[in-house]
Structure 1
Amino acid sequence: MSTATLPEAKRQKMHKTIGTHNGTFHCDEALAVFLLRQTATYRDAALKRSRDPAVLDSCDIVVDVGAVYDEAKQRFDHHQRGFTEVFGHGFQTKLSSAGLIYKHFGQEVISNKTQLPVTDPKVEVLWLKLYREFIEAIDGIDNGVSQYPSDLKPKYRSRTDLSSRVGSLNPWWNQSTDAHIVDAQFEKASQLTGEELLGKLDYYANAWLPARDLLIGSVASSKASVDASGKIILFEQFLPWKEHLFELEADANSGVEANQAIYIVYPDETGGNWRIQAVPVSPESFESRKALPEAWRGLRDGELSKASGIDGGIFIHASGFIGGNKTKEGALKIAQAALAM
């Protein structure tokens, strides 16, 4: 029997209902509702916005209202006294309804969107990455968690963050607060948060994560064919490597040894020349583990080639953190010579 031939009451019972509060809406429940609609259980769910307990009790899942956090009962509020739930995995920011729903349903959403099995290790990598780069800020803003120590004051205000843009979709003080109008604006807000989240996920799954895989492969191949000590890593194509290198070095199971890499050799973004970059002591540091030789710093072209004895020299930065050569072979020779000096 198709759903079209089922009695109306039974058809309605097959569809789930998400509940959240009415009135002014915020980024966290807008995103929570969007996330739920990306799951198998709540994909076609209706939405009820109310603070009436009887209405909320009729819903299959309730977010950001009700003063209850109970996964078994599908109740996900964070406003009640004593609520201290955090994401775990080293994160300490108290969760909003966005973080709560993401904690419980995020891996399923990522699996659905990437077509990776939910047990694939890449799903967890993306799940943690997206929390760090996207969800945590929403949790912090909604819970009033300052991004800085209390004794620091920002030099300017920013109102372009996602939470602010969601807030601006609420009716102005002198506009109608008719429930139908506000509910329609909430749907716009939910779609806005979802589009931004999925855009981030698309980047992390299809650009950020492949770079991580290439780095892991390059470390292994470089040890086999370039430098057995692992101090020189050769990339055959340009890719963002710094963040991945430090994260992998901190992971005992990644196969990338901590503090081993000294120089990264790679083609520049145009593909015409090659670069030699010294690995910094930390991702944000301007200090290198071993800067390129002081005697070559600030030299260019023929003067650099003469001083180094390596043809094809282009430049060595004055600080020694990066240099260039016209060929891969020349760039590798610079890295090898610098190691020996």
Structure 2
Amino acid sequence: MSSTSDLLPQAKRQKMGKLIGTHNGTFHCDEALAVFLLRQTASYRDADLKRTRDPAVLDTCDIVVDVGAVYDGSKQRFDHHQRGFTEVFGYGFNTKLSSAGLVYKHFGKEVISNTINIPINDPKVETLWLKMYREFIEALDAIDNGIAQYPNDIKPKYCNRTDLSSRVGYLNPAWNQFTDAPIVDAQFVKASQLTGEEFLGRLNYYANAWLPARDILTASVAQSKQTLDPSGKIILFEQSLPWKEHLFELEADPSSNVEANAAVYVVYPDETGGNWRIQAVPVSPESFDSRKALPEAWRGLRDEELSKASGIDGGIFIHASGFIGGNKTKEGALKIAQAALEI
């Protein structure tokens, strides 16, 4: 006995489920990831995929990426190859978007919300949305659009073909391999899964390891001001964590409790948990220059020699550049930071 759907015309049956369209032939990282991201949304989770350049077929698709020469979010069309296309992500990012960036700009918050299971209006979603663009998506946009990472044409000292875009490219059949459309389409599915696994892996790290450090930093700043140093120059962490990027971002956020340029030293346990570190806050996250390096007279000294010079027991070392030092106890590390502020 025939079902109702069996009696419908083919085009009508297609419309019962969503259909994602992209181009056929050689594929690239941007549309492979764009398709994966769409399948993390409620609207396109179970959508079929059609790879073609036939405009009539693309017109039957609910959403089209990387083909069609149209960018119109209201019509669910996301191509970036047309003349005059200049769309960027915004928020300080100026790299021209590929189909990956376009889909991520429109659907990324939903993808993050669905993946880590928090409401889409939670501030953490936007934090992760921007972080993932900066650390993952932007490079794919730039590579697909042929934007050089180094604008002054500096010749690289070595060749790197292990990036995600290159690995997707290698999944395409070689020029001298005979292939038909089903084989290439199957390889595209592999490419989309590859990009998606890397995207979700990175998102998992940022959501469950990187982002929780921000909450600890915020709490530690408040606690340190209350019990240790009201000026905010010394921040005490009770555990080791990635703090630099969070500190500078929160300093730049007027709504946070972290005062700009206030922090001078951070004190925290080392990775073994047995000793403690005193680190000078750099002038920027990647800089080797410190806001106030540890005293020059202590630099390069170790153990008893350091303890004698500083007058603080438990000394382990002070780096020759003064950006970091160590002590056997939390109390000793705090004393080094407090004494360094006065010198």
Q: Deviations over 1:19-51 (max 9, x none)?
A: 000000000000000000000000000000000
Indicate how the Cα distance of structure 1 residues 180 and 259 shifts in structure 2: closer, same or farther if over 3 A, else same: same
Aligned counterpart for 2:228 among listed residues 216, 226, 229: 226
Q: Report whether the alignment pairs 1:202 with 2:204.
A: yes
**Number of aligned residues:** 338
Q: Deviations over 1:176-204 (max 9, x none)?
A: 22000000000000000000000000000
Provide the rounded CA distance (Å) in 1 between the counterparts of 2:115 and 2:153.
Answer: 42
> Which segment is superposed worse, 107-116 or 279-288?
279-288
Aligned to 2:112: 110
Q: Report whether the alignment pairs 1:305 with 2:303.
A: no
TM-score, with normalisation over the residues of structure 1?
Answer: 0.97
SS in 1 for 2:326: strand
Q: Counterpart of 1:7 in structure 2: which amino acid?
A: S
Aligned to 1:333: 335
Aligned to 2:102: 100
> Alpha-carbon deviation of 1:306?
1.3
Q: Counterpart of 1:321 in structure 2: which amino acid?
A: F
Q: Report whether the alignment pairs 1:157 with 2:164.
A: no
Indicate how the Cα distance of structure 1 residues 5 and 237 shifts in structure 2: closer, same or farther if over 3 A, else same: farther
> Alpha-carbon deviation of 1:13?
3.1
Aligned to 1:277: 279
Q: Deviations over 1:228-269 (max 9, x none)?
A: 100000000000111111111122222211110000000001
> Alpha-carbon deviation of 1:301?
0.9
Aligned to 1:124: 126
Provide the rounded CA distance (Å) in 1 between the counterparts of 2:316 and 2:18.
Answer: 64
SS in 2 for 1:7: helix
> Alpha-carbon deviation of 1:69?
0.5
Q: Counterpart of 2:83 in structure 1: which amino acid?
A: R
> Alpha-carbon deviation of 1:151?
3.4
> Alpha-carbon deviation of 1:287?
1.2
SS in 2 for 1:59: coil
Aligned to 2:5: 7
Provide the rounded CA distance (Å) in 2 between the counterparts of 1:145 and 1:282.
Answer: 26
Aligned counterpart for 1:315 among listed residues 309, 314, 317: 317
Q: Counterpart of 1:16 in structure 2: which amino acid?
A: K
> Alpha-carbon deviation of 1:150?
3.4
SS in 2 for 1:171: coil
Aligned counterpart for 2:58 among listed residues 56, 62, 68: 56
Aligned to 1:324: 326
Aligned to 1:244: 246
CA RMSD of aligned residues (A): 1.3
Q: Counterpart of 2:30 in structure 1: which amino acid?
A: D
Q: Deviations over 1:100-120 (max 9, x none)?
A: 000000000000001110000
Aligned to 1:184: 186
Provide the rounded CA distance (Å) in 2 between the counterparts of 1:95 and 1:12.
Answer: 30
Aligned to 2:171: 169
Provide the rounded CA distance (Å) in 2 between the counterparts of 1:215 and 1:42.
Answer: 38
Structure 2 unaligned spans of 5+: none
TM-score, with normalisation over the residues of structure 2?
Answer: 0.96
Q: Counterpart of 2:265 in structure 1: which amino acid?
A: Y
> Alpha-carbon deviation of 1:303?
1.2
Q: Deviations over 1:202-228 (max 9, x none)?
A: 000000000111111111110001111
SS in 1 for 2:67: coil
> Alpha-carbon deviation of 1:5?
6.8
Provide the rounded CA distance (Å) in 1 between the counterparts of 2:220 and 2:72.
Answer: 45
Q: Counterpart of 2:296 in structure 1: which amino acid?
A: E
